[in-house]
Amino acid sequence: MSKPTPLSGFPELLPADRSVEQQLTDHLRRTFELHGFASLETRAVEPLDQLLRKGETSKEVYVLRRLQEADDATDTGMGLHFDLTVPFARYVLENAGRLEFPFRRYQIQKAWRGERPQEGRYREFTQADIDVVMRDELPFHFDVEVALVMAEALSALPLPPMRLRVNNRKLIEGFYRGIGAPDPAVVITIIDKLDKLPVEAVQKLLVTDGELDVAQARQCLALAEIESTDVRFADQVRALGVTHELLETGIDELTQVIEGCASATSDRFQVVASLSLARGLDYYTGTVFEIYMAGFENLKSVGGGGRYDALASDGKTTYPGVGISFGISRTLLPLLSRGLLRADRSVPSAVLVALVDEESREASNEVAQRLRARGIPTEVASSAQKFGKQIRYAERRGIPYVWFPGTDSADGQVKDIRSGAQVDADPDLWRPPDQDLRPKIITDETTTEEQDK
C-alpha cells in the first residue's frame, strides 16, 4: 500500500490536537451536565424523507448504498444526518411516551454534508447541541436558560472571545406586518442577505422581490441596523414608529433574553441584541441565536439556534423546543491549524518509568501500576536504552516526569525533565502537581490578540 493522502473535507487530528479537542469537549459536557442536560446519541443515519423535509439542504446529503446490492443504483433509503436537530426531533417523537418533559439533552456528535470544503466548512464535522423540549407548551424562561448554559460553557474555554447575537422572529415579522409588507417571510429572506450583499442591493431587492415601497424598505433597513448590548434596543425600535401586537411580543421576549443574559456577559463573552439576524431556516418561531468568534468573522457563525414551536409534531401532540448548537470542528480546526491552540503533550502519560534492563521490566511495571492505582497516567519505557535516550523519549512526547526505579526495592527517584530537579520518591506516596496530571491546552495569547484586532 502506498502512502495514503488525506480526503478533502474529512479532517483528522494528530494525537496532541485530538487531546485539545477532547479537553474542550469534556468541558462542554461537564457544563451541560452541571445544568441537568442528559447525554443523547442518535444513530448516524435517518430515512431520506426525514432528511429532505426542508428541501433546501437536500443537495448536501450523503445517501447510503449496500455495496453488494444486486442493482448498483439501489439505495437503502437512508442518508447520513447533516445536523443534530432533525435526528433529535425524530427521536423525541419516536420515544415521547418514554421521555420525561421538559427534556433537556445535549448531543455531541459528528454530522456530514457533501458540500465543497473550505476553512470552517467540512464534510465531516463535530458539533455540540443543547436543547430543551416540552410537550404542548414550553415556558419562555428556557430561551434564557439555553443561552446562559452555552455562555457559561464557552466563556470558560481557552478560545477567542465569543459574541452571541440574539434576535426574535416575532419582533421582525411584527415589524414587517406593521409597515404593511405583503409577505413578511420574503422580507426576512432578503434581510438575511445583509451579510453578503451591499445595503443598496438589499434595498433594491426589498422593493423588487419584497414588494415594498422605498420608504418601507428604508424602515426595514433601519430596523436591521439596530444593535445593542442592553435593552435600549427596545426604545430604538419603537422610535421607528411602527406598531403591531406581534412586534410588542417580540420586543418583550428579546428584552427578557438580553436581561437574563446580563450576568453572562464578560470580556470573554458578549450578548448582543442584533436586529438584522434572521437565520434562514424557516422552523424558528421566536428567539434566534448566532455565535461569532472574535477575529474569525470570516468563518461566519460558529454556532446558532433558536426557538421552534413545532419542529416535532405527530399530528396529535406538538413538541416545542429551544436550543443552541456550537460547531466544535468549525471553531477548533482553524485555531489548531494557526497554532493558536495546542496541547503540551501528545500522550496522556504524566510519568515515564525508565527501564534499567529487560530483566527488571517487572519491577518497572510494578512502579507504574502503583502510580496508576492513584490516578497518575504512567507508561513504561519500551526498551532498556541508555537513560539519556529514555529521557529524550519522554521529551519528544511532552511527558513531564521520568521515574528511575531503585535497585533492590520498588522505590527510586523521579526527575522533572523540564527543570532537571530529581528527588527520591516512593511510588505509593509521590504525586505530581495537579496541573501536570493531564495534558494542558496552551494558547498563544499574543497571536490571539492580534487576530482580534
CB-based contacts of 252: which residues, under 8 Å, 6+ apart? none
> Interface with a second copy includes 386 (CB under 8 A)?
no
> Interface with a second copy includes 5 (CB under 8 A)?
yes
User: Residue 204 CB, nearest distance to a second copy (Å)?
Assistant: 30
User: Residue 405 CB, nearest distance to a second copy (Å)?
Assistant: 16
Torsions phi, psi for 325 (to 5 deg): -115, 140
> Interface with a second copy includes 91 (CB under 8 A)?
yes
CB-based contacts of 67: which residues, under 8 Å, 6+ apart? none
User: Residue 172 CB, nearest distance to a second copy (Å)?
Assistant: 27
Q: How many CB atoms sit inside 10 A of residue 416's CB?
A: 15
Would residue 34 be called left, alpha or beta, if left means φ above 0 and alpha means ψ between -120 and 50 degrees?
alpha
> Interface with a second copy includes 55 (CB under 8 A)?
no
CA distances from 374 to 244, 354, 433 (A): 65, 19, 13
Which listed residue (54, 118, 119, 139) binds a second copy by CB under 8 A?
139
Of the pair 1, 421, the CB lying nearest a second copy is at 1
Report how far residue 136's alpha carbon sits from residue 309's, in angstroms, rounded to the nearest whole number: 9
- Binders of a second copy among 174-233, rule CB under 8 A? none
Residue located via cell numbers 436586529: 275
Give the interface segment with a second copy, choosing from 86-94, 174-182, 273-281, 320-328 (CB under 8 A): 86-94
- Binders of a second copy among 426-445, rule CB under 8 A? none
> Interface with a second copy includes 262 (CB under 8 A)?
no
* Count, residues near a second copy per rule CB under 8 A: 90
Residues paired with residue 401 on neighbouring β-strands, in sequence order? 351, 416
- Binders of a second copy among 407-426, rule CB under 8 A? none
User: Residue 102 CB, nearest distance to a second copy (Å)?
Assistant: 5
Of the pair 33, 445, the CB lying nearest a second copy is at 33
> Interface with a second copy includes 331 (CB under 8 A)?
no
Give the interface segment with a second copy, choosing from 219-227, 270-278, 283-291, 345-353 (CB under 8 A): 345-353
Report how far residue 218's alpha carbon sits from residue 190's, in angstroms, rounded to the nearest whole number: 13
Which listed residue (213, 225, 314, 445) binds a second copy by CB under 8 A?
314
C-alpha cell at 392: 529524550
> Interface with a second copy includes 347 (CB under 8 A)?
yes
Of the pair 89, 226, the CB lying nearest a second copy is at 89
Report how far residue 27's alpha carbon sits from residue 441's, in angstroms, rounded to the nearest whole number: 12
User: Residue 310 CB, nearest distance to a second copy (Å)?
Assistant: 10
Of the pair 361, 440, the CB lying nearest a second copy is at 361
Which listed residue (79, 210, 286, 427) binds a second copy by CB under 8 A?
79
> Interface with a second copy includes 453 (CB under 8 A)?
no
Of the pair 49, 200, the CB lying nearest a second copy is at 49
C-alpha cell at 281: 431556516
Which listed residue (8, 76, 118, 208) binds a second copy by CB under 8 A?
76
Identify the helix (H) or strand (E) that includes residue 293: strand 287-293
C-alpha cell at 409: 526495592
> Interface with a second copy includes 80 (CB under 8 A)?
yes
> Interface with a second copy includes 135 (CB under 8 A)?
no
Of the pair 13, 281, the CB lying nearest a second copy is at 13
> Interface with a second copy includes 94 (CB under 8 A)?
yes
C-alpha cell at 121: 466548512
CB 167 within 8 A of CB 273: yes
> Interface with a second copy includes 19 (CB under 8 A)?
yes
Which listed residue (6, 55, 241, 420) binds a second copy by CB under 8 A?
6
CA distances from 48 to 65, 75, 76, 382 (A): 12, 10, 9, 50
- Long-range pairs of 442-451 with CB within 8 A, sequence gap ≥ 24: 442/341, 442/342, 442/343, 442/344, 443/158, 443/340, 443/341, 444/339, 444/340, 444/341, 444/342, 447/338, 447/339, 447/340, 448/160, 448/295, 448/340, 451/160, 451/294, 451/295, 451/296, 451/338, 451/340
Which listed residue (8, 54, 56, 58) binds a second copy by CB under 8 A?
58
Give the interface segment with a second copy, choosing from 77-85, 285-293, 416-424, 440-448 (CB under 8 A): 77-85
